[in-house]
């Protein structure tokens, strides 16, 4: 049983976890893979850290390109992240005929088409289970387990940081800024949390899932990306009163005209399992025409959960690397010559139900005006609550949930509503958002 040799680029949290789990479970993993998998070389700028983690069990360098060029290395594990040096290293590894295992969602969402084309050309594998939802085997499920299905939609909580923040805001009634600071203190959120809180990380992940689900190229640039930084605690409270929870969802939905690809805070009925995914956990719902709805739940980040996905890829590559490339599972689930050019729909064409919070004068006729404006756009109201005005207050909040309509109808109603208010605050929407999974 000749071992297969891997070179690890980046021995941070996930790299360290991968090194440790591979060592700890070596015997079990070998029984599964059919031969030992060894990380023989590690590259990291922080040589002290690399030496400390590897403890003499791998050759350590600060030159990642030397690892990628090493003829003894069969698989390159890229855990550096980002689209700079990581892109160069991955493309160089492929050019050198090496298989690649990566957790880099930004790289695949933005440069995946180029990377998979290069890998196809060279007959090497690029495996990326760890790129979406950490330890949850959602890539494997979509690419293989659900292969009989025409996938209809995917909706996922695929960013643990924002889910933690939303859970805390709901539980404790605290504003976003306060909870973000707490998340940073606890190490959930990065010092620069922009990618997480503005929905970019989730958009990278749903872009990858959409390609796997529908056999379309990666089109991150066409995704609607909206985070949670503008969400107000009172909207979480009103959603609760209507029987809903607010979650940051990544949604990819196939329609006759094209694919909806979007990330935004979403009202989900509280009775739904996915609405009860709390803290930093991840969950992905996939609806297939044959299987129906399936739900995948687990840790979306962390050293060993993510290592679990990285090592699953190492085992897959080890099993398949002697197979004829034509007989391997295609990188993106569909054969490369069978990809479709289905358009990503603009946000204005998205179909869903909507949440509206309106700050209005509490006087006769206001509600009639609002419902008329909505009716003129063909928007039907599903549920409504009106807050009791406070002592001496002349204004109040009206909160509405609509039936399914198109985004452009809601935009038109909001524009008309603002116009009708004639510069006064009456009817001015204080917040609006989308609901789903009803």
Residues with catalytic annotation? 205
- The answer to whether 104 contacts ligand HSE (rule: CB under 6 A) is no
**Which segment (59-67, 159-167, 327-335, 383-391) binds ligand HSE by CB under 6 A?**
159-167
Interface with ligand HSE, residue 308, by CB under 6 A: no
Nearer to ligand HSE, 208 or 239 (CB): 208
* The binder of ligand HSE chosen from 40, 102, 104, 159 (CB under 6 A): 159
Q: How far is the CB of 105 from ligand HSE (least distance, A)?
A: 6
402 binds ligand HSE per the rule CB under 6 A: no
Q: Does residue 196 interact with ligand HSE by CB under 6 A?
A: yes
Which one among 33, 301, 398, 400 touches ligand HSE, defined by CB under 6 A? 301
What minimum distance in Å lies between the beta carbon of 351 and ligand HSE? 28
N-to-C CA span, the chain? 53
Instruction: Give the range of 30-38, 72-80, 153-161, 335-343 binding ligand HSE by CB under 6 A.
Output: 153-161
Nearer to ligand HSE, 16 or 160 (CB): 160
Of positions 201, 316, 407, 417, contacts ligand HSE by CB under 6 A: 201
Instruction: Examine residue 300 and tell whether it contacts ligand HSE (CB under 6 A).
Output: yes
Of 126, 44, 109, nearest to 80 (Cα)?
44
Minimum Å gap between C-beta 159 and ligand HSE is 4
**CB atoms near residue 256 (< 10 Å):** 4
Site for ligand HSE in 17-56 (CB under 6 A): none
Q: Does 161 bind ligand HSE (CB under 6 A)?
A: yes
160 binds ligand HSE (CB under 6 A): yes
CA-nearest of 343, 328, 333 to 112 is 333
Question: In residues, how long is the chain?
Answer: 438
Site string for ligand HSE, 257-296 (x = CB under 6 A): ----------------------------------------
Closest CA to 113 of 9, 213, 208: 208
Rounded Cα distance between 73 and 55, Å, is: 20
Contact 50, 9 (CB under 8 A): no
207 binds ligand HSE (CB under 6 A): no
Query: Is 109 among the residues that bind ligand HSE (CB under 6 A)?
Result: no
Q: Which residues bind ligand HSE (CB under 6 A)?
A: 159-161, 196, 201, 300-301
């Amino acid at each position: 049983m000749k071992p297969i040799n891997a070179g690890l680029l980046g021995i941070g949290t996930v790299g360290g976890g991968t090194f440790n789990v591979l060592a700890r479970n070596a015997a079990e993993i070998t029984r599964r893979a059919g031969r030992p998998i060894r990380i023989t070389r590690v590259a990291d700028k922080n040589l002290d850290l690399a030496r400390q983690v590897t403890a003499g069990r791998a050759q350590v360098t600060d030159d990642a390109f030397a690892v990628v060029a090493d003829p003894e290395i069969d698989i390159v594990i890229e855990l550096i992240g980002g689209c700079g040096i990581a892109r160069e290293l991955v493309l160089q590894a492929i050019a050198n005929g090496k298989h690649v295992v990566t957790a880099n969602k930004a790289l695949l969402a933005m440069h995946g088409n180029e990377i998979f084309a290069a890998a196809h050309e060279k007959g090497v594998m690029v495996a990326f289970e760890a790129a979406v939802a950490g330890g949850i085997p959602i890539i494997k499920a979509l690419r293989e387990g659900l292969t009989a299905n025409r996938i209809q939609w995917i909706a996922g909580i695929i960013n643990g940081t924002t889910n933690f923040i939303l859970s805390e805001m709901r539980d404790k009634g605290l504003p976003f800024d306060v909870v973000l600071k707490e998340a940073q203190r606890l190490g959930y959120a990065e010092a620069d949390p922009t990618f997480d809180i503005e929905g970019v990380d989730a958009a990278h992940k749903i872009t990858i899932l959409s390609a796997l689900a529908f056999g379309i190229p990666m089109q991150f640039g066409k995704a609607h990306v909206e985070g949670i930084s503008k969400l107000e605690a009172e909207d979480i409270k009103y959603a609760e009163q209507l029987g809903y929870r607010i979650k940051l969802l990544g949604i990819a939905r196939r329609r006759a005209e094209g694919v909806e690809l979007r990330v935004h805070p979403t009202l989900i009925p509280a009775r739904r399992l996915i609405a009860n995914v709390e803290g930093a956990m991840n969950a992905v719902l996939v609806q297939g025409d044959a299987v129906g709805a399936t739900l995948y739940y687990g840790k979306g980040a962390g050293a060993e959960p993510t290592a679990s996905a990285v090592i699953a890829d190492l085992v897959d590559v080890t099993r398949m690397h002697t197979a004829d490339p034509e007989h391997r599972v295609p990188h993106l689930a569909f054969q490369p010559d069978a990809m479709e050019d289905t358009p990503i729909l603009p946000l204005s064409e998205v179909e869903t139900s909507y949440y509206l919070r309106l700050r209005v004068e509490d006087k006769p006729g206001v509600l009639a005006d609002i419902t008329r404006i909505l009716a003129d756009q063909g928007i039907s109201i599903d549920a409504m609550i009106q807050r009791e005005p406070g002592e001496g207050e002349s204004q109040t909040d009206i909160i509405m949930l609509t039936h399914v309509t198109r985004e452009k109808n809601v935009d038109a109603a909001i524009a008309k509503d603002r116009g009708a208010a004639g510069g006064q605050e009456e009817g001015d929407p204080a917040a609006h958002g989308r609901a789903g999974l009803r």
